[in-house]
Amino acid sequence: MNVRSRAVNITVATAPTIVEGLRASDQDESSITLQWNKINNSTSFVLQFNGSETFISSPDGFGPVTHTVSSLTAGTRYTFTLFSVFEGIRSSGVQLDAVTAPRNTEAVRTSDQDESSITLQWNKINNSTSFVLQFNGSETNISSPDGDGPVNYTVSSLTAGTRYTFILYHVFMNVRSRAVNITVATAPANADSFRQSDQDESSITLQWSKINNSTSFVLQFNGIQTFIRAPDGDGPVIHTVSFLTAGTRYTFTLYSVFENIRSSGVQLEAVTAPKNPEGFRVSEQDETSITLQWNKVGINISFVLQFNGTETNIRAPDGDGPVKHTVTSLTARTNYTFTLFSVFENVRSSGVSILATTGPNYVLGMNLRLKLPITMSESELEDALIELLRKYNLPPQITLKIISSKP
């Protein structure tokens, strides 16, 4: 009836305002750093995620509050709820979804390359992780392919024999993994003007255009590989292959090499010069003709006979006997120089020359009693006797006829 009791006091606070500016300021494969605006020195915070709560006191100073949550799983989405706390009273809270960075691949490698492209390959993580490939100041987004196999990506329109650095990121919900770098080179261009510049019976000299000082070469033939460095200067590269067989065709493959990467290679077929004919001599002559004779060289070896500025092609005869060729329409009592070349696939031997004279003939009678070895033919005996007579300065145009008789 208008009379009051003694007073009972209670002190109560209102809930603090919710946090502003809550965001993920950084993340890696195993942690997320959260950041938000400080309210005042009296307001602390509670961070709730995965059923656990973490008390965070209000920091000194005026800067934002920063808190790192660690021991997380790579490439995973987390939901964080942040409460402001004043006098034990929480705000309504604010939520944030944030993700850890995906794992990067340690297996990025080159699976193929040619003069204008490089194919990169790396291991896929899962269907939710895409990729960003960065090189030469540009970025390419690469979606995660279906299936479980590795990811293959080809970078094209590149320059031959050039080193490129590629940076690969795995991407999960717009968050990138740590960068993985790989430096690879395109294959160099093939050598130009690869040709045979010279040859003899036992060697072939090859020649091609130099590419640059960084590009060396590998020459491959008969299962053998020879490394040839880039020469100094701007002239062509010259290399001689020795210890070959006369009158033989060889296939050479030449690769350009840059940073241990070979070009596709260019091939060349080249031949050694054949051996000179043996036993080249005059077998007969009269006043207007000279018959020449020599030993056959091989099945595929033809001949060129050269005299008085003319050349005559003579094919390889059938059989194993000597080759004979008669030169007609000559002048009596005249010296002629004949040069004979063996020819294999348009490549000539060094040539052998003899001097021969047209008739009139004379006969030199000689009575010789010779024992003919079983292994020597009459033709071989003639050759041996002619060489013997030449040794004692008899004229080289001598013609020898053997008449065999029984003892």
Query: What tens digit of pLDDT does each residue of 331-369 get?
Result: 988 889 999 999 999 999 999 999 988 877 665 666 666
Quote the pLDDT of residue 217: 96
Q: Tokens 């002619």 sit at which residue?
A: 386
372 has pLDDT over 80:
no
Cis geometry, peptide bond prior to residue 145 (ω within 30 degrees of 0) = no
Query: For residue range 105-155, what is the model confidence (pLDDT) as tens digits?
Result: 767 899 889 999 999 999 888 888 889 999 998 999 998 878 777 899 999
Amino acid at 180: V
With a cut of 60, say whether residue 393 has pLDDT above it.
no
Q: Is the CB of residue 173 less than 8 Å from the CB of residue 166?
A: no
- Token pair 């020599």: residue: 294
Closest CA to 164 of 178, 188, 139, 182: 182
Kindly state the average pLDDT of the residues 272-293: 92
Higher-scoring residue by pLDDT: 312, 316: 312
Of 147-161, 197-211, 373-387, the one with minimum mean pLDDT is 373-387
User: Is residue 385 helix, strand or coil?
Assistant: helix
pLDDT of residue 382: 75
Q: Are 185 and 162 in contact (CB under 8 A)?
A: yes
Residue 126: per-residue pLDDT: 80
Q: Give the number of other CB atoms < 10 A from CB of residue 187.
A: 25
Query: Is pLDDT above 70 for 400?
Result: no
Q: Which helix or strand (DSSP H or E) is residue 219 part of?
A: strand 216-221
Amino acid at 2: N
SS3 383: helix
The whole-number average pLDDT for the span 386-403 is: 63
Give the DSSP letter string of 243-264: SPPTT-EEEEEEEEEETTEE--
Two tokens, residue 52: 């656990």
Q: 3-state SS string over 262-277?
A: ECCCEEEEEECCCCCC
Residue labelled with tokens 């209102």: 14
Domains of the chain plus CATH, in order, are 23-99 (2.60.40.10), 109-185 (2.60.40.10), 195-271 (2.60.40.10), 281-391 (2.60.40.10)
The pLDDT of residue 387 is: 75
